[in-house]
Amino acid sequence: MGNVLVTVSDRKIGFDGDQDEQADYYEAEVLSASDYYPFGWSMPGRQFAGSEKYRFGFNGKENDSEWGSQVIQDYGFRIYNPSIGKFLSVDPLSPDYPELTPYQFASNTPIQAIDLDGLEKIVVHLLDKSATSKISLSDQAKLKKEIDYIYECMNVDLTVEFVTSGKVKNRDEFYKRDDAHWSDTYIVVGNTETLKGIDFKETGWKKPEDSFGDEVVGTSNRSDLLSAIDVIEMEEVRKTWNVTRTDANDLIDFYNFLKTTIMHEPGHPKFKYHPDLDAQGVPGHIDNTVMDTGPSGVKKSHDDYMILLLREVHGRVRPPDEMDKDPYEYKELRNKSKEDSKKIEKEFNKNGG
């Protein structure tokens, strides 16, 4: 379950039973210990804390003692009170689970389940050395933090997760993960040769619509939630773009190009009913947004329709705001985003997501 039961230091304590000034045996130094009730409240009389009290506990989450007599835990997007077995705010996914209270923890089954951060995911799978060498562990952590922050600011229940081991995930396997949701996106990242070698039919995914190579940085299938990113072509396109720029402010680096593409590619199947799509010059792209063509989308943002649709598809991390409730300014876009979200969910659930 990830519960922290005991913390032990790297210091060993020697015991000299026969007092010959040599240790007969050693014992570990226990810094803290705790047993828990099923929903995470520490059992009275079943706790020990030394001079340095360990900050983490139930489910491996950090304990916050600044709430007075109660210990509260931060799960990232909601605050949990283990003494009452409930979160202190509504679950953004509660509309999908009408049989459960919106404040429930682990579907009220804490013995067999844990409650994760609650966010739906864009899973980015780095398949080869080309990907892992271009996208270091520190870059992965930074990308996750920055992209998650963008979605949080938009009040969208969505996060990025990086995977660096294993083969391409089978579609059925991907959507049978313990924390899977129908709207999760899978992005495979590698060089041209690696991506060309994927048998998408064998893995159950629909093949991306564009061929790999020839300046194709990223590609998706608008009928499936799989995307692909070619790091070699991305670097080549980036260099070519920068050579043609006359304004230094228009130059782009690999990191920001990648960050934009991670948000851009999953947008193709989600924004395919965008009200401005038919007026655009390039199919599937929306000018002056994150969905703009190639490097043109770097440092661009999502428009109002995209934000509202993402909220409908993935849920919200906070209560609805004025954009959700304004009776006039966003009414038409809000109604369209709700209708389009239902169509998309029906399509992808039909496809097995």
> What average pLDDT does the chain have?
85
- Asked if pLDDT for residue 104 goes beyond 70, the answer is yes
96 close to 103: Cβ distance less than 8 angstroms: no
18-27, 84-93, 123-132, 205-214: the lowest-pLDDT one: 84-93
pLDDT digits (tens, 9 = 90+) for 53-82: 667 777 767 778 777 667 788 776 678 888
Distance CA 134, CA 142 (A): 14
Q: What is the pTM of this model?
A: 0.69
7-21, 84-98, 307-321: the lowest-pLDDT one: 84-98
**In the numeric block, which tokens belong to residue 172?**
């059925």
Angle 304-314/331-350 helices, nearest 10 degrees? 50
161 close to 148: Cβ distance less than 8 angstroms: no
Q: Which CATH number fits domain 120-310: 3.90.1200, 1.10.10, 3.40.390, 1.10.1740?
A: 3.40.390
Q: Averaged over 144-159, what is the pLDDT?
A: 92
- Asked if pLDDT for residue 134 goes beyond 60, the answer is yes
**How is the chain split into domains, by residue range?**
6-108, 120-310
DSSP symbol at 216: B
The pLDDT score that the predictor gives to residue 1 is: 47
State the pLDDT confidence band at 326, using cuts at 50, 70 and 90.
confident
pLDDT digits (tens, 9 = 90+) for 162-202: 999 889 999 999 998 877 888 999 999 999 999 999 999 99
Strand order in the sheet with 86-87: 63-67, 70-74, 79-81, 86-87
CA geometry: angle 299, 302, 306, nearest 5 deg? 160
DSSP symbol at 169: P
Percent of the chain with pLDDT over 70: 89
The pLDDT score that the predictor gives to residue 268 is: 93
Q: Which is more confidently placed, 238 or 91? A: 238
The pLDDT score that the predictor gives to residue 98 is: 79
Can you spell out the DSSP letters for 328-350? STTHHHHHHHHHHHHHHHHHHHH
pLDDT digits (tens, 9 = 90+) for 282-296: 668 899 999 998 899
- Asked if pLDDT for residue 46 goes beyond 90, the answer is no
Q: Averaged over 330-352, what is the pLDDT?
A: 87
The pLDDT score that the predictor gives to residue 19 is: 84
